Amino acid sequence: MTKTRHLEKLVRERCLAGNLQLEEAVSLFHRLLSPNTHHPPSILTINFLLKSIAKTKHSSRYSTVVNLFSCLKRTTRTRDTGVSLSLTIHTFGLAIDCCCRMGRADLGFCVLGQSLREGCGVDTIMFGSLIRELCTRKRMRDAAKVLAKMPLLGCAPNLIIYNTLMDGYCRKGNIRMGLELFRLMSKEGSCFKPNAVTFGTLIHGFCREGEIAVATEMFEEMVAKGVMPNVNCCNILIDGLFKNGDVLAARKVFEQMPSFGVVADLYTYSSLIDGLCKNGDVTAAQQVFEQMSVHGIVADLYTYNSLIDGLCKNGDVIGAQQVFEEMSVHGIVADLYTYNSLIDGLCSHGDTNCAFRMFDKMVAEGLGPNVVTYNILTHSLCSQGNMNCALKMFEEMIAKRLVPDVYTYNDLILGFCNVGDIDKAFVVYEKVVNSGLHANVYTYTTLLKGCCKEGDFLRASELLIHGLSVIGEWKCAIRVLREMVNQGISPNVVTFNALMNALCKHRQTCEAEKLVGIMEDIGVEPDVITYTTVLQGYVLESHLGKATELLERMASKGIEPDQHSYSILINGYCKNGRINEALRMVDKMMHHGLKPNDVIFDVLLNAVSNCKNPDEVKQIISEIGDRQCHLGCVW
């Protein structure tokens, strides 16, 4: 008995010491359950040890508790250890909590069932752990079902559970359900009254959804009801107001904080500095930065980055460099964002040489430049007309396996247009198209201006039509096309195809087919892409008859449909349940010397799976098999 008590005392001392390691804790656990321990340890000591393990920083702490719980369960079922233990509701509760923190709510529910079967019962804390995990996984329906079952098992939900559920709804984007729960809590006679956490959760939810006015109303309702906001509530609203551009309201909340008994923290000051800088009031941001130091709050990397970026964007590069030096003195290591802000500020100030020195310093510090870094420098070089150096930066970027974005290409296009080399600008534009990126309005506008400046109006018109088609302005594109034709300027087949593609995507296939007639009238020969584009448009609109007629017309015009043309029609027939017609199209395709690929046969087999008549299914599969065998012979 004395030996067991000494061991239990040691366990409690080690748990309270605050430096208990996982390996030592597991060893103590097994010693408590050792066969050499003739007297069973107190379950309270076991629970205390399990709780201490769960509080360690070890990555496998939760799984360890669950494994040790399983060991306890085996001990209660066998007499091999010579130890007899009766688990309590708190033991089961610890196991459920750890299961949930492992992301295994399913195991948690199993433990809950065990607790009920063994007569230990259940409590609110157990349900709180399960609901928290379900909400974390955004399984809100399941969480609501668990809440509904609690009273049936003699457990009353508490405010923490309601707040957890509300937070889950808000995080899932269902702010209205969160608000409904809040109103239910606020009703007369309700057992629970919303607290600062409740209001903070809703305020955060509304701010996340961009409904800042409602968030502000919620904050005011909170104060009116005598619920004092905490620092978290104030921080969330200040940040939301700044992001909404309401600087005065944000500063007002900050100034009210002392009257609520709330002391501003690092997050408060960082939000203020960042918000003021982003809204152009850098002087006020500097004042807040100084005020922050007076109150003994040490700025972190985020705070410094916000101020440096704000100063750079305000044109005060010298001030930004001074803050950068101060940051280093305080032992805060600059990151990529810091350097990018400074490089951008120096380039905007026209000091490209200094910007490159900062770039070299960044690399020497072991920070690899990203696409943003290269874009800043490329933009500066292109603005100066230094296209050779700009291309070198572009090549260096590619060599470092960084993927250029549309802004990279736009800068190069602008640079070449500004120096009058429109051909190289179009070479870059082709790179944009071939890379799979989507050129934007700026891309087309820059090229258009470049063409007009060089007097290349045909290329300008074709580009305009293509650009308008890509961005979905097909009506405007048609007007430009007609104006070109009226002026005797003949667009090429690529321009027509781009416009047709835009029309078909907007379900204007009849208009697209009219353009084929215009092409023929002005002597532009339609190609297989022209007809296939219109064909796909008709299939998209389920006009399969028109699509088939167009396929016939293609052949009569001497343009042979390709594999893609046939596969569009086959897919269309299959989607509409017309499998026999799809098979006839396969035969026609094979007759013209084209081989259906695996994708086409997969489409046919998928369509067969929707047939309800077994005899029909067998017949169709047999026919598909015959065609595959035939192709096997041909190959």
The boundaries of the domain holding residue 418 are: 369-455
At 611 the pLDDT is 63
At 333 the pLDDT is 94
Specify whether 617 is located in the same domain as 605: yes
Average pLDDT, the chain: 86
Q: What is the CB neighbour count within 10 angstroms for residue 160?
A: 16
**Residue given tokens 């309800």 in the structure block:** 612
Classify residue 594 by burial, with Cβ atoms within 10 Å: 0-12, 13-18, 19+.
Answer: middle
- Whether 321 is covered by a domain: the verdict is no
Specify whether 375 is located in the same domain as 447: yes
> In this structure, are residues 402 and 370 in contact, taking their beta carbons and an 8 Å threshold?
yes
Domain boundary (455, 485, 501) is at 455
Specify whether 520 is located in the same domain as 590: no
Structure tokens at 599: 């994708």
**Residue given tokens 């990018």 in the structure block:** 340
Q: What crossing angle do the helices spanning 89-101 and 43-54 adopt, rounded to 10°?
A: 20
At 471 the pLDDT is 60
**Residue given tokens 């084209």 in the structure block:** 594
Specify whether 449 is located in the same domain as 481: no
* pTM confidence score: 0.68
- Whether 508 is covered by a domain: the verdict is yes
Specify whether 478 is located in the same domain as 439: no
What's the length of the chain?
635
At 570 the pLDDT is 86
- Whether 253 is covered by a domain: the verdict is no
d(CA 100, CA 105): 5
Specify whether 428 is located in the same domain as 504: no
> In this structure, are residues 516 and 503 in contact, taking their beta carbons and an 8 Å threshold?
no
pLDDT, tens only, 574-601 = 888 887 888 888 888 888 778 777 777 7
Specify whether 400 is located in the same domain as 473: no
At 283 the pLDDT is 94
Q: How many domains would you assign to the chain? A: 3
At 519 the pLDDT is 82
- Whether 234 is covered by a domain: the verdict is no
d(CA 178, CA 201): 9
- CA dihedral (589, 591, 596, 601) positive or negative: positive
- CA dihedral (268, 270, 271, 277) positive or negative: positive
Specify whether 465 is located in the same domain as 429: no
Q: Which amino acid is located at 353 in the chain?
A: N
Specify whether 478 is located in the same domain as 514: yes
- Whether 625 is covered by a domain: the verdict is yes
Specify whether 520 is located in the same domain as 566: no
> In this structure, are residues 383 and 417 in contact, taking their beta carbons and an 8 Å threshold?
no
Angle at CA of residue 466, ends 462 and 467, nearest 5°: 115
pLDDT, tens only, 476-533 = 667 766 766 676 666 778 777 877 887 788 788 887 888 888 788 778 888 889 888 9
Domain boundary (410, 425, 455) is at 455
- Whether 162 is covered by a domain: the verdict is no
- Whether 494 is covered by a domain: the verdict is yes
Q: Which residues of the chain have pLDDT under 70?
A: 1-2, 35-38, 76-84, 188-190, 448, 452, 457-458, 460-474, 476-477, 480-481, 483-485, 487-490, 608-635
- Whether 486 is covered by a domain: the verdict is yes
Domain boundary (431, 455, 479) is at 455
> In this structure, are residues 343 and 377 in contact, taking their beta carbons and an 8 Å threshold?
yes
What is the 3-class SS of 381-414, one letter each residue? HHHCCCHHHHHHHHHHHHHCCCCCCHHHHHHHHH
At 446 the pLDDT is 79
